[in-house]
Chains A and B, each alone.
Chain A
Amino acid sequence: MSHNQQAETAAAPKVYAATLLALLALTAITVAAAGIHFSSGSVNVVIALSIATIKASLVALVFMHLRHDKPINAIVAISGFLFLALLLAYCVIDIDTRRTIVPYTAKVPEKAAPATPVEADTKK
């Protein structure tokens, strides 16, 4: 172990405790922000997901040691999220470009109009 690593190991518990406090504070902020009604609901989603991403980054960098690790481990982790983004992107493109979406009818809703295909675009 080099001198740097020894110094890091000695200071580690303080860093971990500070990270825990930051994570708990961010959780409180998320819950508080969810109680505020913004003009658009998507503002709430953006805020909630941004805070979640900050928390996830703290966990990955400090608790999972990516901060001091070999870059290859971070590359593997980030590539997992990149492939996930690819999956989401292609699914969204697929759904948004369909002309006709046939609703799922395994269960008949109690108070709804009879199930008919949603015509997104009647002209071919």
Chain B
Amino acid sequence: MSTTAQLVQGHHDPTLQHHFHTKEQQFETSKLGMWLFLATEILLFGGLFVGFALMQQKYPQAFLLAHHHLDRSLGALNTVVLLLSSFTMVMAVWAAQTSRKKLLVWLLLATMACAFIFLGVKYFEYSHKFHEGLLPGKFYSHKGDTVPNQFVFFSFYFMMTGLHGIHILGGIGAIGWLVIRALKGDFDANYYTPVDLIGLYWHLVDLIWIYLFPLLYLIQ
């Protein structure tokens, strides 16, 4: 209502908040904030990665044997599913940038579908491990191990994939909110900041899985 830019332009853009001079400045500010959040996410997961590296150095035999309980093909399937979801997400951002409103909704729904497939496969993997007693820490009850301390591997497995799974759930919620707003027609070439930022978050979740897959499933 009172900024110079608006007085000069003589009209009020509802998507431009009053404390920014231009749309571009507003967009770049939001994006920088998102990147700062993503840097803290790298460190959140990073602590677990460092712990994993140190413990694998300490118990290499236990980690090698423990990882044979994981299904490599299911891990690879989930990697492919997440990469596909990253592609549909970046295409959704492109659809918003070029004002393709219907395509945007479909691409967001495709991304959500991939996320649900990922969680479905993870549920299948988890229930198999619960059944075998391959659980973290003191809950580990698998019988017939020839090398001790395999529970350490499963502590890391569940903490790392669990934290990642929570991020997938959060992503599903955020993308669902984007779908509702996209259906209302809120996003076009003039304003698509939320699509872009949630896209960045989704790619980071994919990026973390890119490291989790070889470390957990492909130990030699």
Chain A contacts to B: CB under 8 angstroms: 9, 12-13, 16-17, 19-20, 23-24, 27, 30-31, 34, 37-38, 41, 44-45, 48-49, 51-52, 55-56, 59-60, 62-64, 69-70, 72-73, 76-77, 79-81, 83-84, 87-88, 91-92, 95, 104, 106-107, 109-112
Contacts and interface: CB of A to CB of B under 8 A. Distances in A.
A84 B140 contact: no
Given A9-B98, A23-B83, A63-B203, A107 B210 contact: no
| Interface secondary structure of B, over-half rule | helix
A104 B76 CA distance: 33
Interface hub of A16, A31, A64, A88 (most chain B Cβ within 10 A)? A64
Given A45-B220, A111-B148, A79 B39 contact: yes
B87 A106 contact: no
B50 A87 contact: yes
Given A23-B83, A77-B39, A107-B138, A92 B54 contact: yes
Contacts of B206: 59, 63
13 contacts: A24-B80, A44-B218, A45-B219, A49-B214, A70-B28, A73-B32, A76-B32, A76-B36, A80-B43, A87-B43, A87-B46, A88-B50, A107-B140
A44 to B, nearest CB: 4
Interface string B43-56: 10011011001100
A84 B148 CA distance: 30
Contacts of A59: 86, 203, 206-207, 210
Interface in B14-67: 28, 31-32, 35-36, 38-40, 42-43, 46-47, 49-50, 53-54, 57, 60, 64
A44 B47 CA distance: 23
B214 A76 contact: no
B91 interface: yes
Contact of A110 (B32, B50, B89, B148): B148
B84 interface: yes
Given A62-B90, A80-B46, A84-B42, 5 more contacts: A48-B215, A52-B211, A69-B31, A87-B50, A110-B145
Given A76-B39, A83-B43, A109 B210 contact: no
**Interface residues on chain B, size class:** 35 or more
Nearest to B93: A65
Interface of B: 28, 31-32, 35-36, 38-40, 42-43, 46-47, 49-50, 53-54, 57, 60, 64, 72, 76, 79-80, 83-84, 86-87, 89-91, 94, 97-98, 137-138, 140, 145-146, 148-149, 151-152, 199-200, 203-204, 206-207, 210-211, 213-215, 218-220
The 8 closest A-B pairs by CB, nearest first: A109-B148, A80-B39, A44-B220, A34-B218, A48-B214, A80-B42, A84-B46, A20-B87
Contacts of B79: 27
B202 to A, nearest CB: 9
Contacts of A24: 80, 83
Contacts of A60: 203, 207
Contacts of B207: 56, 59-60
